[in-house]
Amino acid sequence: MNKTLKYTFAILALIFGIFFISYSIFVWHEVAEFIR
């Protein structure tokens, strides 16, 4: 695979990973807040 393409995918994966983790924590936090 082309190096540029590979790096682009890697950065996209990194951004998605950060989004996914922060979003799951956010949802948990919000739901817990609501239940209390």
- Applying CB under 8 A, which residues contact another protein? 6-7, 9-11, 14, 23-24, 26-28, 30-32, 35-36
> Residue 7 and residue 5: Cα distance in Å, rounded?
5
Q: In the complex, what is the shortest distance from the CB of residue 17 to another protein, in angstroms, rounded to a whole number?
A: 10
CB nearer another protein, residue 16 or residue 23: 23
User: For residue 8, what are the CA distances in angstroms to 4, 16, 20, 21, 28?
Assistant: 6, 12, 18, 20, 30
* Shortest distance in whole angstroms from residue 23 CB to another protein: 6
